[in-house]
């Protein structure tokens, strides 16, 4: 008994070590609802990991703890930290369940979806798949895709699904709306096709899970009993369906810990509702509220600027970030003649920083919209400065999606979209006419056609056999070899060699799923590939400057940060912050707040007098956000004073 008391006391000291007072309060409050209002850089991931470790230390079995994040990267980081904290506990062989919202839905539906008619082997359609299916629906209904754009239709349907609406819910309002009439028809056919493919799209992963839990009380009780302590990261980014899923699971034990920051709520355009965090006390009246304001990332200069910017928002809880890193470099503001001069300044200054003890991978260039990356990329290439553009997803490359499509069919023969994708890739003599016969299950085939289709079926069967018994990496290798894809890419061209390297890399990436039994490992790989976010493409060890949108940068931190395009109409964007809608205007200000608080030491803000946007040359005013920063925190920079700041650099800071 004395041994275990000593072990428990030692574990307690280890878990609370390095935490400030408010962080300790959050870690030690383990019963009942808890809202942690965590300011930028205040150590929320650390608090969550230590809180979960403390719950385990006090006797809760690890597998009864659930933590939900928004990206695979965040989930992986949290799992890593938790494992390090509880690894010395001799009673914990298992681990807490840490997943994204969508991955949680996949897990529950794979286990229990049969209660509402969902096959365990369902395919997950990513955005590209869903859009392809939407185009099929418009074609089948003879609807003009120019008048009713597939991407817009898909976006509207997605928004309604996130609100847990159905086509039938819209019928009452459709009488006086031709658009709604078309939308309902398209949506109904879209759902029919999803069912025929035995597939779910992203929104279904949450909506169908909620439908399951509401329909089957036994299933709801099962998961409520399984997870007695639930943690939701980035609670301000939850939409209605995610909010309801968390509420359903936490209703029984009421041990819900929500962590978030209203000032970093930047996803309203995709359905996130920051009011979920504002209403937490109303939903959970007995909740304890803890605010984390001490920042461990940025200098006080950067925090003073961020505080001055965000205080203008009305829809927030009062919070004032502070740090022990007093003072700090002033925020540098660069006025460029045009976007070319701006890009030249950023690339050259980034290179100078990299040559003066700032690793390239600790430098980030942020921008409001994706189109801004083109001129930046061109200048980084011209300067010979290595960079990595976030958002180019490995799993979206054609050759990678093709191999994954082979595996998807092997697991789910009803996935007709994947069949159409690869039935003749590589070419095996199956043209459109034979494909149509095959999909229609036409028996009127000549001997040659029968042989071609039989050969294809044998390929899929061999991959399916591998999936049933072999580790994920061997299944991936089997798909590459059996399909003939490797030989197809060995065409002697540079492009073929690059694409071959990508599918070989897929085998390497698959190895981490070999720890799962068959076929769970390959199912996990397919799920992660479909649910990949921009941040999951970040190669942290690649010694290159990171280029990304501000949205993609949320949750990340860098020693030096450039924010390009600080102009009215661009940042704030004229579609968001320039109008009369106060909610959109405040979200745009929160987005700038996120941009500022990514920087640890050095922050550069740049804007251009002239900028070419979609072929039109525009004259710009400086962003209103620049006026919100107290002038004593900033300094204007030009070629001369930047060269003086980096005298040892061999890079000349020039104006074009």
598 belongs to the catalytic site: yes
45 belongs to the catalytic site: yes
Which residue among the candidates 233, 379, 474, 567 is catalytic per the annotation? Answer: 233
233 belongs to the catalytic site: yes
**Can you tell me the distance from the alpha carbon of 396 to that of 116, in angstroms, rounded to the nearest whole number?**
31
- For residue 389, the cross-strand partners are 547
Which residue among the candidates 22, 23, 44, 419 is catalytic per the annotation? Answer: 44
C-alpha to C-alpha distances, 406 to 193, 199, 619, nearest whole angstrom: 20, 15, 51
- Two tokens at 367? 């921008």
- Two tokens at 644? 């003086």
How far apart, in Å, do the first and last CA atoms of the chain sit? 75
- Two tokens at 652? 């000349």
Q: Which helix (H) or strand (E) holds 641?
A: helix 639-645
Give just the sign of the alpha carbon dihedral 53, 58, 60, 66: negative
**Can you tell me the distance from the alpha carbon of 156 to that of 160, in angstroms, rounded to the nearest whole number?**
6
- Two tokens at 64? 């009864």
The strand pair at 123-125 and 97-100 is best described as unpaired
Which residue among the candidates 319, 598, 611, 624 is catalytic per the annotation? Answer: 598
**Residue 561 burial (C-beta neighbours within 10 Å; 0-12, 13-18, 19+):** buried
C-alpha to C-alpha distances, 479 to 56, 57, 65, 101, 529, nearest whole angstrom: 41, 44, 36, 29, 16
Residues 6+ apart with CB under 8 A from 615: none
State the Rg of the chain over Cα. 27
Which residue among the candidates 126, 204, 234, 237 is catalytic per the annotation? Answer: 234
Q: For the CA atoms of 283, 289, 293, 294, what is the dihedral angle to 10 degrees?
A: -130
Which residue among the candidates 8, 24, 25, 45 is catalytic per the annotation? Answer: 45
Are 548 and 377 in contact, with CB atoms under 8 Å apart? no
For tokens 């999909």, name the residue: 439
Task: Establish how many alpha carbons lie within 13 A of residue 147's alpha carbon, considering only the half-sphere containing its beta carbon.
Answer: 9
Are 510 and 392 in contact, with CB atoms under 8 Å apart? no
**Can you tell me the distance from the alpha carbon of 556 to that of 575, in angstroms, rounded to the nearest whole number?**
26
Which residue among the candidates 69, 242, 264, 349 is catalytic per the annotation? Answer: 264
What amino acid positions are annotated as catalytic residues? 44-45, 233-234, 264, 598
């Amino acid at each position: 008994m004395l041994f275990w008391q000593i072990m428990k006391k030692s574990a307690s000291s280890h878990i609370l070590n390095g935490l400030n007072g408010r962080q300790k309060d959050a870690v030690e409050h383990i019963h009942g609802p808890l809202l942690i209002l965590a300011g930028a850089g205040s150590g929320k991931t650390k608090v969550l990991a230590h809180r979960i470790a403390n719950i385990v230390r006090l006797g809760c079995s690890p597998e009864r703890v659930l933590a939900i994040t928004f990206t695979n990267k965040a989930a992986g980081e949290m799992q890593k930290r938790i494992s390090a904290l509880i690894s010395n506990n001799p009673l914990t062989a298992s681990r807490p369940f840490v997943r994204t919202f969508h991955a949680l839905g996949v897990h529950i539906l794979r286990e229990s979806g049969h209660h509402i008619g969902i096959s365990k082997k369902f395919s997950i359609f990513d955005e590209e798949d869903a859009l392809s299916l939407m185009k099929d629906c418009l074609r089948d209904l003879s609807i003009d895709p120019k008048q009713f754009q597939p991407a817009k239709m898909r976006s509207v349907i997605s928004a309604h699904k996130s609100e847990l609406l159905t086509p039938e819910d819209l019928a009452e309002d459709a009488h006086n709306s031709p658009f709604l009439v078309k939308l309902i028809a398209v949506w109904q056919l879209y759902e029919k096709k999803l069912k025929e493919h035995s597939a779910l799209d992203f929104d279904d992963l949450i909506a169908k899970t909620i439908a399951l839990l509401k329909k089957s009380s036994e299933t709801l009780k099962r998961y409520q009993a399984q997870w007695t302590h639930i943690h939701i990261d980035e609670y301000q980014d939850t939409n209605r369906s995610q909010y309801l899923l968390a509420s359903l699971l936490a209703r029984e034990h009421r041990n819900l810990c929500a962590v978030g920051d209203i000032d970093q709520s930047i996803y309203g355009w995709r359905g996130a509702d920051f009011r979920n965090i504002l209403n937490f006390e109303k939903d959970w009246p007995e909740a304890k509220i803890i605010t984390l304001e001490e920042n461990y990332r940025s200098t006080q200069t950067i925090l003073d600027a961020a505080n001055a910017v965000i205080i203008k928002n009305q829809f927030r809880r009062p919070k004032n970030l502070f740090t022990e890193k007093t003072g700090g470099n002033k925020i540098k503001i660069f006025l460029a003649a045009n976007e070319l001069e701006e890009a030249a300044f950023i690339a050259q200054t980034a290179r100078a920083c990299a040559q003066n003890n700032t690793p390239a991978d600790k430098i980030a260039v942020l921008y409001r919209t994706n189109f801004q990356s083109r001129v930046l990329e061109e200048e980084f290439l011209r300067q010979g400065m290595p960079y990595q553009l976030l958002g180019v997803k490995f799993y979206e490359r054609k050759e990678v999606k093709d191999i994954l499509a082979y595996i998807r069919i092997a697991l789910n023969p009803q996935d007709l979209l994947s069949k159409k994708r690869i039935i003749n890739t590589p070419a095996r003599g199956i043209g459109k006419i034979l494909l149509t016969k095959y999909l229609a299950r036409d028996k009127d085939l000549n001997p040659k056609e029968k042989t071609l289709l039989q050969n294809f079926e044998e390929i899929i069967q061999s991959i399916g056999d591998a999936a049933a018994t072999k580790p994920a990496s061997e299944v991936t290798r089997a798909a590459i070899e059996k399909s003939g894809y490797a030989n197809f890419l060995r065409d002697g061209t540079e492009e073929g060699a690059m694409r071959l390297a990508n599918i070989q890399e897929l085998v390497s990436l698959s190895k981490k799923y070999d720890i799962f039994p068959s076929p769970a490992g390959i199912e996990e790989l397919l799920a992660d590939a479909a649910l990949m976010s921009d941040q999951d493409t970040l190669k942290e060890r690649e010694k290159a400057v990171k280029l990304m949108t501000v949205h993609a940068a949320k949750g990340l931190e860098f020693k030096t940060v450039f924010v390009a395009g600080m102009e009215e109409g661009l940042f704030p964007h004229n579609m968001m912050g320039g109008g009369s809608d106060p909610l959109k205007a405040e979200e745009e200000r929160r987005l700038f707040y996120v941009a500022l608080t990514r920087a640890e030491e050095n922050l550069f803000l740049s804007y251009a007098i002239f900028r070419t946007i979609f072929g039109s040359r525009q004259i710009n005013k400086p962003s209103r956000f620049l006026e919100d920063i107290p002038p004593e925190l900033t300094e204007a920079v030009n070629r001369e004073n930047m060269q003086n700041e980096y005298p040892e650099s061999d890079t000349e800071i020039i104006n074009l």
